[in-house]
Structure 1
Amino acid sequence: MATGRAVVRSGRQSCDGRRARVARVAIIGSCITRDLWPILGEAPADLLYISRTSLPSLFARPLADVEVAADPPPGLARHQNNAVRADLRKSSLAALIAHRPTHVIFDFIDERFDLLAARDTLVTHSWELEVSGYLTQPDFSHARIVPRASAECDQLWGEACVELAAFLRQTPLREARIILHESQWAQRYLDRAGQPHDFDQDVMIFDGNLGRLDAHNALLRSYQDRFAALTGASRVRADPRLRMGDVGHRWGLSPFHYVADYYRDIWRQLRDLGL
């Protein structure tokens, strides 16, 4: 659930025992994609993971005057602080090009956070930014929330998606395979005895910030359809019957922390795309 790079072993064996070409994977998304590897015991050759951001924030100007501590402030892990730094400094796109990925996977589960308009730019109003203490700095003194469900946010997202499509075409990323991991917030979850229960429609984003489950799923469908139409991305989507929350998930119970079979289904599809 962080922005960072992990270099670990991978590679697929060919039929004569030789190791096939190793994929270089980049993720712009959330733990629903990053968790594929640890949950299934697999490992990408060289993973760049960009999280806790939004397309409008990715393409906005840096908020350069905010001081981001080298050591994480209380309440944040190092990878969480790195994610906040990347979102404020707008360093993710340069890191993506430098990574030279063979595959770039997008998922939009982190597009549940509001945006924050600060000075002449936008940042992602994530839980990590909220607890970091950075919001007390002068650059945020007159900041205003752009609600995720607002028409303003939708327009900003659509404009950024057009910009992203051009970015993918006009940079070395045009050589990479672009993949959309489509998903939805689960309506139901399994308890520890394997019995199903319904999620509440009101889902906590963080600290009193609620989101309506059906509304966010409608937003995800819109985002995913617009992104696919503009980029021609390959689309992977788990069997809807597997879109089930899991109370025993490594990150806890949430409408986007799924049962293990969900990840197995997505992993099978990604392998078919060359991972």
Structure 2
Amino acid sequence: MPKIAIVGSCITRDLWPIRGGGSEQLLYVSRTSLASLLASPLPDFRPARIPPGDLHAHEHKALVADLEKTALARLVAFQPTHLIFDFIDERFDLISTRGTLVTHSAELVRSGYLSRAPFRSWRPISRLSAPCDRVWRDAARAFATLLERSELRRAVPILHSARWATRQRDTSGAISEIRDVEILSGRPTAIAPYNALLERQEAEFLRLMPPMARIDADAFRLADPDHQWGLSPFHYIPEYYDEVRRQLGLLGLSGAFSEQPAAPSAPVA
């Protein structure tokens, strides 16, 4: 059975709970950025024993990993046979505080940790800014070096290339534009700049990393209003996940899923 690690977002993780089981041999690193993943731990941070606010346990676990910087060691120790990357969670701004970087995720906002002492005098780094691009590129270079020098070099690297959907398909099959997009609640944003960012990040990552497989289901890139996590530009219709699973199967990962996906129907018009 393959051991799969994901450094990415729900668009890859949802291949398992949405379209079948088989997640027993799976490590999921999310709600982080390469820049935050490789930064130093947040000084003097002490996580709550019980998830604060309305956070679920898995949300709090991902948040604490981003603040304490434990995910990278877990990733190396896991010794995956396959390592899948997607950059959808690279949409969040970064926070500079106490000599380190953390991800300004919705979970961090909801946790209430921003009001605690470790975040005193923090400053934001806009995701679409040149400084954020620079720290991300530096981290991508560092990750490529880590991959070469650690046990991760034995894993098959795979890039799940993805973009935000600009259209949605309802249960009747009608297709319409997606409107009122937010990254954090109350902060409307446009889709195009983030898709352009994803294109730049993927190109730079492929340049820095050893040769890696690339899977792409953009032909089925439509948002699903009935998605279990709600309407979002990166919560796709079922055919999207089926196509990704099909392509992963061609890379020898069909055994990672409890059932084989059906052949995709028709691509997005």
TM-score above 0.5, yes or no: yes
Give the CA deviation at 1:274: 2.0
After alignment, is 207-216 or 116-125 more displaced? 207-216
Counterpart of 1:209 (choices 184, 187, 191) is 187
Give the CA deviation at 1:208: 1.9
Change over 3 Å in CA distance of 1:183–1:44 after alignment to 2? same
Q: How does 1:120-159 map to 2 (within 5 A)?
A: 120-159=99-138
- Check if 1:261 corresponds to 2:247: no
Partner Cα distance (1:36, 1:216) in 2: 23
Give the equivalent residue in structure 1 for 2:165.
186
Retained in 1: the 8 A contact 2:37–2:72?
Answer: yes
Give the equivalent residue in structure 2 for 1:39.
18
Partner Cα distance (1:69, 1:274) in 2: 41
Partner Cα distance (1:50, 1:113) in 2: 15
Partner Cα distance (2:43, 2:82) in 1: 30
- Check if 1:58 corresponds to 2:37: yes
Relative contact order higher in (CA < 8 Å, ≥ 6 apart): 2
Partner Cα distance (2:215, 2:131) in 1: 29
More strand by share: 1
Write the letter of the residue equivalent to 1:63: L
Give the CA deviation at 1:192: 2.5
Partner Cα distance (1:216, 1:179) in 2: 21
Retained in 1: the 8 A contact 2:163–2:195?
Answer: yes
Q: Pairwise CA RMSD of aligned residues?
A: 1.0
Retained in 2: the 8 A contact 1:23–1:274?
Answer: no
Partner Cα distance (1:157, 1:72) in 2: 29
Q: How does 1:109-120 map to 2 (within 5 A)?
A: 109-120=88-99
Partner Cα distance (1:135, 1:246) in 2: 32
- Check if 1:274 corresponds to 2:252: yes
Matched residue SS, 1:208: coil
Give the CA deviation at 1:64: 3.3
Give the CA deviation at 1:211: 2.7
Runs (4 or more) in structure 1 with deviation over 3 Å come to none
Give the equivalent residue in structure 2 for 1:96.
75
- Check if 1:197 corresponds to 2:176: yes
Retained in 1: the 8 A contact 2:43–2:118?
Answer: no
Matched residue SS, 2:41: coil
Identity %: 48
Counterpart of 2:208 (choices 211, 216, 230) is 230
Partner Cα distance (1:45, 1:176) in 2: 18
Partner Cα distance (2:206, 2:50) in 1: 38
Partner Cα distance (1:82, 1:42) in 2: 21
| Structure 1 unaligned residues grouped into runs of 5+ | 1-21
Write the letter of the residue equivalent to 2:87: F
Write the letter of the residue equivalent to 1:136: S
Count of matched residue pairs: 252
TM-score between both structures, scaled by the size of structure 2? 0.91
Partner Cα distance (1:44, 1:137) in 2: 35
Retained in 2: the 8 A contact 1:23–1:45?
Answer: no
| Structure 2 unaligned residues grouped into runs of 5+ | 254-269
Give the equivalent residue in structure 1 for 2:8.
29
Matched residue SS, 2:16: helix
CA deviation map 1:176-202 (0-9, x unaligned): 0011000000110012222100113x5
Give the CA deviation at 1:45: 4.0
Retained in 2: the 8 A contact 1:25–1:45?
Answer: no
Write the letter of the residue equivalent to 1:120: G
CA deviation map 1:212-266 (0-9, x unaligned): 200000000011111111112211001x330000111111111100000000110
Retained in 2: the 8 A contact 1:28–1:107?
Answer: yes
Matched residue SS, 1:210: coil
Give the equivalent residue in structure 2 for 1:84.
63
Partner Cα distance (1:98, 1:169) in 2: 15
Retained in 1: the 8 A contact 2:168–2:175?
Answer: yes
CA deviation map 1:120-144 (0-9, x unaligned): 0000000000110111111111000
